[in-house]
Structure formats: structure tokens, C-alpha cells
């Protein structure tokens, strides 16, 4: 069996992590469910962990990534901003490009 190359990418802003695999996954779940608590449930992570992640994302980003509301109809909720939607799309694209790039590079090792 031949070697496989794997990678993780993430984006930082001022030495703080802005986006990584897990954060993107969380944002997608928020977009799908309309709330942070439902997103957390769907990913089988605790609400607190999800909240900490999302808080970190919004604190690191140049512009808000989500708009969160407390109370009111349905108790509140969270939704992505246009900026947030653009960010996750760009992240996914770069990530896929990186994988494709690395798959080409791995032959340097297979041929050793």
C-alpha cells in the first residue's frame, strides 16, 4: 500500500485562529439549523464548546460572521452574515485546492 498525504489548514487573524475545519463545520450547521444550540446537537458537541468556538470566530474576524439574538420568538437564534457565507465558501475552495495540490506532490515520496 502506498503512502497518503493529509493536511489541515486554518486561517489566523492576529495570532488567533479564525477558521479551521471544526469552525467551518459549526458555521455550516448554524446555517442549516438557524440556532447555535441545534447546531451543537447536530454535531454532538456541547453547547458550551460550540459557543466558545463561535465566540472566538466572531472576535477574530474583521466583520461579524454571525448575528445572534436572545429571547423572542423561538427563544432566539443565530444566522450567518453574507461575510460569513463568503468565508466558508472561500475556505472550502482553498482546502480542496490544497488537497489536489498535495495529491500531485506525493509521488515524490512514492518514487523513493
Q: Which of residues 39-58 bind DNA (CB under 7 A)?
A: 45-49, 51-52, 54-55
For the chain, the distance separating the N- and C-terminal CA atoms, rounded to the nearest angstrom, is: 14
CA 55/CA 21 separation, integer angstroms: 16
Q: Hey, which residues does 77 pair with through a beta bridge?
A: 69
Gyration radius from the chain CA atoms:
17
Position of cell 466558508? 88
3 binds a copy of itself (CB under 8 A): yes
Site size for a copy of itself (CB under 8 A): 30
- Residue 108 binds which entry of a copy of itself, DNA, none, with Cβ cut-offs from 5 to 8 Å by kind? a copy of itself
Binding mask 60-79 for DNA (x = CB under 7 A): --------xxxxxxxxxxx-
Among 1, 44, 48, 74, binds a copy of itself (CB under 8 A): 1
Residues near 66 by beta carbon (within 8 Å), at least 6 away in sequence: 27, 30, 54, 57, 58, 78, 79, 80, 81, 84
Q: Which is nearer to DNA, 44 or 105 (CB)?
A: 44
Cβ distance to a copy of itself smaller for residue 52 or 96: 96
Considering only 5, 28, 37, 42, the residue that binds DNA (CB under 7 A) is 37
Amino acid at each position: 500500500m502506498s503512502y497518503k498525504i493529509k493536511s489541515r489548514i486554518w486561517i489566523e487573524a492576529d495570532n488567533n485562529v479564525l477558521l479551521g475545519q471544526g469552525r467551518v463545520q459549526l458555521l455550516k450547521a448554524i446555517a442549516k439549523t438557524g440556532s447555535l444550540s441545534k447546531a451543537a446537537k447536530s454535531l454532538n458537541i456541547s453547547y458550551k464548546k460550540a459557543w466558545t468556538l463561535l465566540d472566538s470566530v466572531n472576535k477574530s474576524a474583521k466583520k461579524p460572521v454571525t448575528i445572534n439574538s436572545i429571547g423572542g420568538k423561538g427563544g432566539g437564534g443565530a444566522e450567518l452574515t453574507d461575510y460569513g457565507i463568503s468565508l466558508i465558501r472561500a475556505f472550502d475552495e482553498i482546502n480542496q485546492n490544497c488537497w489536489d495540490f498535495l495529491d500531485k506532490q506525493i509521488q515524490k515520496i512514492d518514487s523513493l
